[in-house]
Structure 1
Amino acid sequence: MRLDRRDFLRLSALGGGTLALGPAFWQAAYAAPAEPGPGPYGAMSGSADANGLRLPAGFSSRVVARSGRVVAGTSYTWHSAPDGGACFPMNGGGWAYVSNSETSSGGASAIRFDGGGAIVGAYRILSGTRTNCAGGPTPWGTWLSCEEHGSGRVWECDPTKSSQGVARGALGTFAHEAVAVDPDDGRLYLTEDTSSGRLYRFTPSAWPVLTAGTLEAAKVTGDPMAGTATLTWVVCAATSPASEQSSVASKTTVFSGGEGCWYDSGVVYFTTKSNNRVWAHTPATGKLEVIYDASLYSGSPLTGVDNVVVSRSKDIYVAEDGGNMEICIITPGTPRTVSPFLRLEGHSSSELCGPAFSPDGRRLYFSSQRGTTGSSSGGYTFEVTGPFR
């Protein structure tokens, strides 16, 4: 997984959001939590399309993979319980969509697309793990796959070809959910999906190598709802959850049910399902804010907050674990609004996972983990195409 400087810069430009707006913009844009309001694409259609999706006008969908079935145009059988995912630009054009498998046999797979969006390959990139939930892409073009169990680790994978990931034990041993890489500050941020979970950050000893470094857990000072909160950090061991380290647990803050995590334009976004909140942390200032809280407004559309991704237009897309199976958008403005973007019907016993945009921002990928059957063997992976701003 060696990468030269030219490739690092290219992948950084293609794989993440532009830094042009910077953290000051977001501190102004998210001065108060989002409230229900109209979305940028108008209302969803009144009825579902052939794939069960209700979408705004001008958008369409296709199924690109189903668990237990061969991916069209390939000889590869798609994994069960598709979960967290991300897209990666490929040398020579096109991209790959990577997806975890949240099963006892775990692992991760990838679907490769050409420049026109046609499927040209599918393959395994991680085996020999279990309960791979979410994760995150790196600016140097690898996928960090997170195991969600008590002795879970983070595995670094090559999404470009059939391969085998490498365990990165320095990133901690706990029920990992997601990870976001901050290339400006040279750190990684990680969520933990337990009732006693913490928010962690990892500072590599030699950026961007993940074999060694310092792991810390967060402590909140102030009121994040009032915009007065900041984070400080307490060093912890990488061999067990922070909640089980007596010298750390009492000095750090519980983020119960940590879920999705994404870095964009100087801000780390993450979600906690225990209280249906979306958070924003600005590493440059230490500031922590709540930018969405479902309890603030009656009939708030976003519940069961889970995986999160930021689009090129700086809208925050949040997938739901349960509820009415929507992906919702939090849009900056005055006021800030939250609205449904899509709804998947007929999958009521499932959850939506792995939202990710193609490198050109024109296609959104995501999965229904348990599909229409409610079984991990019934998963679907979708693509939505349309006039994304």
Structure 2
Amino acid sequence: MSATRRQILSRTGASVAGIAFTGAFSELFAGTAAARGHSPAAGYGPLVPDPAGLLDLPKGFRYTVLSREGDPLRSGEGPVPSNHDGMAAFAGRRGRVHLVRNHENRVTGRVGVPTVEGLTYDPAAKGGCTALTLDGRNNVLDERVAIAGTAVNCAGGPTPWGTWLTCEETEDRAGTNGYTKDHGFIFEVDPADPHRTGAVPLTAMGRFQHEAIAVDPRSGIVYETEDAFLKPFGLFYRFLPEKPLGGTGSLRAGGTLEAMRVPGVPDLSVIQETGARFEGVEWVPVPDPQAVQTPIRLQDFGPKGITHAQKLEGCYWGGGAVYFVSSFARTKDGSGATHYGQVWKYEPQRRRLTLVVVFGPDTDIQLPGESPDNICLAPTGGLMVCEDGEGAQHVYGVNRRGEVYAVARGANNIGTPETPEWGEFAGVTFSPDGETMYVNCYTPGTTFAVTGPWC
């Protein structure tokens, strides 16, 4: 989003309730509270400047800082790593909550994930996950390393059996950037007992620039997005496990990786009309899931080719369908058209793909902006979107009618008074009881718990 538009919103403290995205928003909330009419009609009101200069929220809401980069981990394993990214919350025993949080560190991350015996894949890599255990009042009981020695852990997703799949957004091989092992894999993390899952790459799920996943809870099929913003752009995948829904460890049994082909559509960015629908979606086996010689998106998928999309990021399951986000597309990068963000819906039973949302251009202050990144459905009803753009940073809510409202705004200026900057938000998720929204600030790495009159 343009700095001008964000700065205007930041200076005025404006609520953007009543501003609409373009798209069929009722489809996004199928099977949620929002579909039953309980999402906030006009948001929660204007954002109130935070005297502490960390997080602006609507009146009646409050936040707790759960964790901040550089502080000591409660386990004593080292400092809290930097670059807080994707995250999910899981129900624990006796009302506890387990948070699993990605750290998108490269080789030279500010604060790398400490290496821990039995939880480290490649000692030269600085990414990974940490896990927090909270009591029912969001007090931190424990914070420790959940996996280490992975690289560029951007997003991922929860499984129906209560684990977190963390995704490496890189294709670097051993010998590149000092790495001692190949990267570009998915790893499974048990939020309650990380040593149970260890640091084992799920190689059958493919080696590419992973972003996020979503699991069909009926079939166990895992859908995967590829975040490639330079041509050739990424693909949308599905993984058919040999042992679906088998619990922790079942994905290690292997399976088949396939890529989506939309007949007649080599580039999703050229589709601009919301409601555009494509029947008979095909799934094509990936020739070489390990990308031994050639990145998957460059491999030969036959004379019909394959369907690409720029910057595929967020992914979630809801209402019998999988939704995935294309954060943006630009003709200058080689896309067939320019857009500022799309949300696509794929219905497996019907083999149908529908464009349900298009985000507005950043040149218009009356539209809610560009580059949707992490995205989740709130149990109280509605969609929560972390924008990844320029200038001031927001978490936005969207109700069933497509009305947009600000939920949070970063207040920690990491730039200068003359040229202010704010860290992007990531990893928005909700507690199992729906009473708390957890969200990360990427820079400086901070995890917030936000409570208030969620409706």
Q: TM-score scaled to structure 2, two decimals?
A: 0.71
- Listed as ranges, the matches of 1:17-96 within 5 Å are 26=27, 40-71=42-73, 75=76, 77-96=79-98
- Contact 1:109 1:124 survives alignment (8 Å): yes
1:161 partnered with 2:228: no
Query: What residue in structure 2 maps to residue 133 of structure 1?
Result: 154
Match of residue 358 from structure 1: 431
CA contact 1:322–1:349 (8 Å) conserved in 2: no
- Residues 41/339 of structure 1: CA separation in 2 closer, same or farther (3 Å cut): closer
Q: 1:289 Cα deviation (Å)?
A: 2.6
Aligned counterpart in structure 1 of residue 394 of structure 2, from 315, 319, 326: 326
One-letter amino acid matched to 1:135: G
For 1:364 and 1:96, the matched residues in 2 are separated by: 13
Which amino acid in 2 is paired with 1:133? Answer: C
User: Structure 1 residue 235 and structure 2 residue 285: aligned?
Assistant: yes
Residue by residue over 1:162-196, the C-alpha shift from the partner in whole angstroms, topping out at 9 and shown as x without a partner, is 53332111111000011111112321111111031
Alignment match, 1:342: 408
User: Aligned in 2, Cα 1:327/1:125: closer, same or farther, shift over 3 Å?
Assistant: same
Alignment correspondent of 1:284: 349
Where structure 2 has 5 or more consecutive residues not aligned to the other structure, the ranges are 1-25, 32-39, 107-125, 172-182, 266-270, 329-338, 415-420
- Greater CA radius of gyration, 1 or 2? 2
Which residue does the alignment assign to 1:247? 301
1:274-303 Cα deviation digits (max 9, x unpaired): 232222222222232333222379332242
What runs of 5+ residues in structure 1 fail to find an aligned partner? 1-24, 31-37, 372-378
State the 1:29 CA deviation. 6.9
Aligned equivalents of 2:351, 2:136: Cα separation in 1: 40
Between the aligned residues of both structures, percent identity stands at 33
How far does residue 263 in structure 1 lie from its aligned partner after superposition? 1.2
Q: Which amino acid counterpart does residue 251 of structure 2 have in structure 1?
A: L
Partners of 1:267 and 1:66 in 2: CA distance: 36
Structure 1 residue 312 and structure 2 residue 385: aligned?
no
Task: Normalising by structure 1, report the TM-score.
Answer: 0.82
Partner Cα separation in structure 1 for residue 454 and residue 28 of structure 2: 24
**What amino acid maps onto 1:152 in structure 2?**
G
Q: Distance in 2 between matches of 1:384 and 1:342?
A: 9
Counterpart contact for 1:325–1:352, Cα < 8 Å:
yes
Do structure 1's residue 301 and structure 2's residue 368 form an aligned pair?
yes
Structure 2 contact 43–397 (Cα < 8 Å) conserved:
no
Would you say 1:184 and 2:218 are equivalent positions?
yes
Given that residues 316 and 376 in structure 2 are in contact (C-alpha distance below 8 angstroms), is that contact kept between their aligned partners in structure 1?
yes
- Is 1:173 aligned to 2:224, yes or no? no
Q: 1:116 to 1:248 in 2, by over 3 A?
A: farther
How many residues were matched structurally? 348
Alpha-carbon distance between aligned partners in 2 of 1:132 and 1:43, rounded to the nearest angstrom: 34
Q: Distance in 1 between matches of 2:61 and 2:321?
A: 29
Partner of 2:12: none
Contact kept? 2:29, 2:318, Cα under 8 Å? no
1:84/1:270 Cα in 2 relative to 1: closer, same or farther (>3 Å)? Answer: same
Supply the distance in 1 between the matched residues of 2:385 and 2:237 (Cα, whole angstroms): 21
Asked if the contact 1:135/1:144 (under 8 Å) is kept, the reply is: yes
Letter in 2 for 1:290: L
Do the aligned residues in 2 keep the contact of 1:93 with 1:114 (CA within 8 Å)?
A: yes
Query: Are positions 1:263 and 2:317 aligned together?
Result: yes
